[in-house]
Copies of this chain bind each other. A is one copy, B any other.
Amino acid sequence: MENLKALPGIGTRTAERLAFHLIKLSEDEAMQLAQAIRDVKRNLTHCSQCFHFTEKDPCPICSDPQRDKSLVCVVEQPKDLMAFEKAGSFRGVYHCLLGHLAPLEGIEPDDLTIGPLLKRAESGGIREIVIATNPDLEGEGTAVYLRDQLADVARRKGIKVTRIARGVPAGAEIESVSSAILTDAMTGRQSYDGGRP
Protein backbone atom coordinates (compact mmCIF):
# COMPACT_ATOMS: atom_id res chain seq x y z
CA MET A 1 0.00 0.00 0.00
CA GLU A 2 2.85 2.38 0.81
CA ASN A 3 4.35 1.78 -2.66
CA LEU A 4 1.00 2.35 -4.41
CA LYS A 5 0.33 5.52 -2.41
CA ALA A 6 3.56 7.00 -3.74
CA LEU A 7 2.07 7.01 -7.28
CA PRO A 8 0.59 10.32 -8.49
CA GLY A 9 -3.15 10.80 -7.89
CA ILE A 10 -3.47 7.76 -5.63
CA GLY A 11 -4.52 8.41 -2.06
CA THR A 12 -4.89 6.10 0.95
CA ARG A 13 -8.34 4.80 -0.06
CA THR A 14 -7.41 4.07 -3.68
CA ALA A 15 -4.15 2.43 -2.59
CA GLU A 16 -6.14 0.18 -0.29
CA ARG A 17 -8.60 -0.73 -3.05
CA LEU A 18 -5.75 -1.45 -5.50
CA ALA A 19 -3.89 -3.56 -2.94
CA PHE A 20 -6.94 -5.75 -2.29
CA HIS A 21 -7.43 -6.08 -6.05
CA LEU A 22 -3.81 -7.21 -6.47
CA ILE A 23 -4.31 -9.88 -3.80
CA LYS A 24 -7.29 -11.23 -5.70
CA LEU A 25 -5.40 -11.43 -9.03
CA SER A 26 -4.25 -14.81 -10.29
CA GLU A 27 -0.51 -15.53 -10.09
CA ASP A 28 -0.28 -15.06 -13.88
CA GLU A 29 -2.02 -11.71 -13.91
CA ALA A 30 0.04 -10.39 -11.02
CA MET A 31 3.30 -11.52 -12.65
CA GLN A 32 2.25 -9.91 -15.94
CA LEU A 33 1.77 -6.55 -14.21
CA ALA A 34 5.06 -6.90 -12.30
CA GLN A 35 6.83 -7.81 -15.53
CA ALA A 36 5.29 -4.81 -17.38
CA ILE A 37 6.46 -2.44 -14.64
CA ARG A 38 9.97 -3.93 -14.79
CA ASP A 39 10.01 -3.75 -18.59
CA VAL A 40 9.12 -0.05 -18.61
CA LYS A 41 12.30 0.74 -16.73
CA ARG A 42 14.49 -1.86 -18.42
CA ASN A 43 13.43 -1.59 -22.06
CA LEU A 44 11.90 1.84 -22.57
CA THR A 45 14.22 4.54 -23.78
CA HIS A 46 13.97 7.75 -25.77
CA CYS A 47 14.19 7.62 -29.57
CA SER A 48 17.51 9.16 -30.54
CA GLN A 49 15.85 11.14 -33.33
CA CYS A 50 12.55 12.41 -31.89
CA PHE A 51 12.91 11.66 -28.14
CA HIS A 52 9.57 9.83 -28.04
CA PHE A 53 9.46 6.83 -25.69
CA THR A 54 10.37 3.67 -27.56
CA GLU A 55 11.52 0.11 -27.05
CA LYS A 56 13.70 0.14 -30.15
CA ASP A 57 15.70 3.01 -31.54
CA PRO A 58 14.71 4.75 -33.82
CA CYS A 59 11.05 4.62 -32.76
CA PRO A 60 8.31 3.09 -34.97
CA ILE A 61 7.25 6.57 -36.20
CA CYS A 62 10.77 7.69 -37.17
CA SER A 63 11.43 4.36 -38.91
CA ASP A 64 8.08 4.25 -40.76
CA PRO A 65 8.79 4.72 -44.51
CA GLN A 66 5.26 6.08 -44.95
CA ARG A 67 5.91 9.14 -42.79
CA ASP A 68 7.05 12.42 -44.32
CA LYS A 69 10.50 13.00 -42.78
CA SER A 70 10.69 16.52 -44.21
CA LEU A 71 7.84 17.71 -41.96
CA VAL A 72 8.69 17.86 -38.24
CA CYS A 73 6.12 18.64 -35.53
CA VAL A 74 7.72 19.91 -32.31
CA VAL A 75 5.76 18.99 -29.16
CA GLU A 76 6.47 19.42 -25.47
CA GLN A 77 5.90 15.83 -24.33
CA PRO A 78 5.37 12.32 -25.71
CA LYS A 79 1.74 12.57 -24.49
CA ASP A 80 1.21 15.52 -26.88
CA LEU A 81 2.67 13.41 -29.70
CA MET A 82 0.20 10.68 -28.80
CA ALA A 83 -2.70 13.16 -28.94
CA PHE A 84 -1.70 14.12 -32.49
CA GLU A 85 -1.33 10.45 -33.42
CA LYS A 86 -4.81 9.78 -32.06
CA ALA A 87 -6.16 12.68 -34.15
CA GLY A 88 -4.52 10.95 -37.14
CA SER A 89 -4.25 14.10 -39.22
CA PHE A 90 -0.46 14.48 -39.22
CA ARG A 91 1.71 12.37 -41.53
CA GLY A 92 5.11 13.87 -40.72
CA VAL A 93 7.48 13.02 -37.87
CA TYR A 94 7.91 14.57 -34.41
CA HIS A 95 10.42 16.11 -32.05
CA CYS A 96 9.68 15.93 -28.31
CA LEU A 97 11.24 18.77 -26.32
CA LEU A 98 10.63 16.81 -23.10
CA GLY A 99 9.26 19.93 -21.40
CA HIS A 100 8.84 23.65 -21.84
CA LEU A 101 10.94 26.63 -20.82
CA ALA A 102 10.09 27.84 -17.31
CA PRO A 103 12.97 29.98 -16.05
CA LEU A 104 11.25 30.60 -12.69
CA GLU A 105 11.21 26.85 -12.06
CA GLY A 106 14.76 26.58 -13.32
CA ILE A 107 13.91 24.88 -16.63
CA GLU A 108 16.38 26.38 -19.10
CA PRO A 109 16.96 25.66 -22.83
CA ASP A 110 19.68 23.11 -21.98
CA ASP A 111 17.15 21.03 -20.04
CA LEU A 112 15.13 20.49 -23.24
CA THR A 113 16.11 18.78 -26.51
CA ILE A 114 16.57 22.09 -28.32
CA GLY A 115 20.22 21.36 -29.18
CA PRO A 116 19.33 18.07 -30.93
CA LEU A 117 16.48 19.86 -32.77
CA LEU A 118 18.90 22.46 -34.14
CA LYS A 119 21.25 19.64 -35.19
CA ARG A 120 18.34 17.87 -36.95
CA ALA A 121 17.51 21.07 -38.82
CA GLU A 122 21.17 21.55 -39.71
CA SER A 123 21.53 18.02 -41.08
CA GLY A 124 19.16 18.80 -43.98
CA GLY A 125 16.13 17.15 -45.56
CA ILE A 126 13.62 19.19 -43.53
CA ARG A 127 11.08 21.36 -45.37
CA GLU A 128 8.91 22.56 -42.48
CA ILE A 129 9.02 22.63 -38.68
CA VAL A 130 5.60 23.01 -37.02
CA ILE A 131 5.88 24.28 -33.45
CA ALA A 132 3.07 22.60 -31.50
CA THR A 133 3.83 23.56 -27.91
CA ASN A 134 0.80 24.24 -25.67
CA PRO A 135 -1.16 27.48 -26.26
CA ASP A 136 -0.43 28.62 -22.68
CA LEU A 137 2.14 30.97 -21.18
CA GLU A 138 5.10 28.55 -21.02
CA GLY A 139 4.23 26.91 -24.35
CA GLU A 140 4.03 30.25 -26.17
CA GLY A 141 7.28 31.39 -24.55
CA THR A 142 8.96 28.20 -25.68
CA ALA A 143 7.53 28.63 -29.21
CA VAL A 144 8.91 32.16 -29.52
CA TYR A 145 12.31 31.02 -28.21
CA LEU A 146 12.39 28.15 -30.73
CA ARG A 147 11.36 30.44 -33.60
CA ASP A 148 14.29 32.74 -32.79
CA GLN A 149 16.75 29.87 -32.32
CA LEU A 150 15.66 28.26 -35.60
CA ALA A 151 15.67 31.51 -37.62
CA ASP A 152 19.30 31.25 -38.77
CA VAL A 153 19.35 27.59 -39.83
CA ALA A 154 15.84 27.95 -41.33
CA ARG A 155 17.02 30.79 -43.56
CA ARG A 156 20.16 28.95 -44.65
CA LYS A 157 18.42 25.62 -45.30
CA GLY A 158 15.11 26.98 -46.63
CA ILE A 159 13.02 25.54 -43.79
CA LYS A 160 9.58 27.06 -43.13
CA VAL A 161 8.88 27.50 -39.41
CA THR A 162 5.16 27.43 -38.59
CA ARG A 163 2.93 27.48 -35.50
CA ILE A 164 -0.25 25.46 -35.02
CA ALA A 165 -3.42 27.56 -35.24
CA ARG A 166 -4.85 29.13 -32.11
CA GLY A 167 -8.52 30.04 -32.28
CA VAL A 168 -12.01 28.93 -31.42
CA PRO A 169 -12.11 25.18 -30.76
CA ALA A 170 -14.22 23.03 -33.08
CA GLY A 171 -17.72 22.56 -31.69
CA ALA A 172 -17.58 25.56 -29.34
CA GLU A 173 -20.00 28.48 -29.22
CA ILE A 174 -18.63 31.98 -29.73
CA GLU A 175 -20.86 33.37 -27.00
CA SER A 176 -19.30 31.12 -24.38
CA VAL A 177 -15.56 31.11 -25.12
CA SER A 178 -13.10 33.44 -23.37
CA SER A 179 -12.04 36.86 -24.62
CA ALA A 180 -8.49 35.57 -25.15
CA ILE A 181 -9.82 32.89 -27.51
CA LEU A 182 -11.93 35.41 -29.47
CA THR A 183 -8.93 37.71 -29.80
CA ASP A 184 -6.89 34.78 -31.15
CA ALA A 185 -9.69 33.87 -33.55
CA MET A 186 -9.88 37.41 -34.88
CA THR A 187 -6.11 37.97 -35.06
CA GLY A 188 -5.52 34.65 -36.79
CA ARG A 189 -8.35 34.93 -39.28
CA GLN A 190 -7.56 33.53 -42.68
CA SER A 191 -8.62 34.48 -46.15
CA TYR A 192 -10.67 31.92 -48.06
CA ASP A 193 -8.23 32.23 -50.93
CA GLY A 194 -5.27 31.35 -48.67
CA GLY A 195 -2.98 33.43 -46.49
CA ARG A 196 -3.67 36.09 -43.93
CA PRO A 197 -5.66 39.21 -44.73
Report which of B88, B134, B135, B195 forms a contact with A179, defined as CB distance below 8 A: B88
Q: At the interface, yes or no: A13 with Cβ under 8 Å from chain B?
A: no
Q: Are the C-beta atoms of B174 and A80 separated by less than 8 Å?
A: yes
Given contacts A182-B87, A195-B194, contact A168 B170 (CB under 8 A): no
A147 partner residues in chain B, CB cutoff 8 A: 192
A79 partner residues in chain B, CB cutoff 8 A: 175
Given contacts A182-B84, A189-B164, A190-B162, contact A172 B169 (CB under 8 A): yes
Q: How large is the interface on A (under 10, 10 to 19, 20 to 34, 35 or more residues)?
A: 35 or more
Q: At the interface, yes or no: A102 with Cβ under 8 Å from chain B?
A: no
Q: At the interface, yes or no: A126 with Cβ under 8 Å from chain B?
A: no
When chains A and B are docked, how far (Å) is the Cα of A192 from the Cα of B136?
A: 18
How distant is A103 from chain B, measured CB to nearest CB, in Å?
20
Q: Are the C-beta atoms of A134 and B172 separated by less than 8 Å?
A: yes
Q: At the interface, yes or no: A161 with Cβ under 8 Å from chain B?
A: yes
Chain A residues in the interface with B (C-beta under 8 A): 73, 75-77, 79-80, 82-84, 86-90, 128, 130, 132-136, 147, 160-192, 194-197
17 A-B contacts (beta carbon < 8 Å): A80-B174, A87-B179, A88-B179, A89-B179, A135-B169, A135-B174, A162-B197, A164-B188, A165-B167, A166-B169, A167-B168, A167-B184, A167-B188, A169-B172, A170-B178, A188-B188, A190-B196
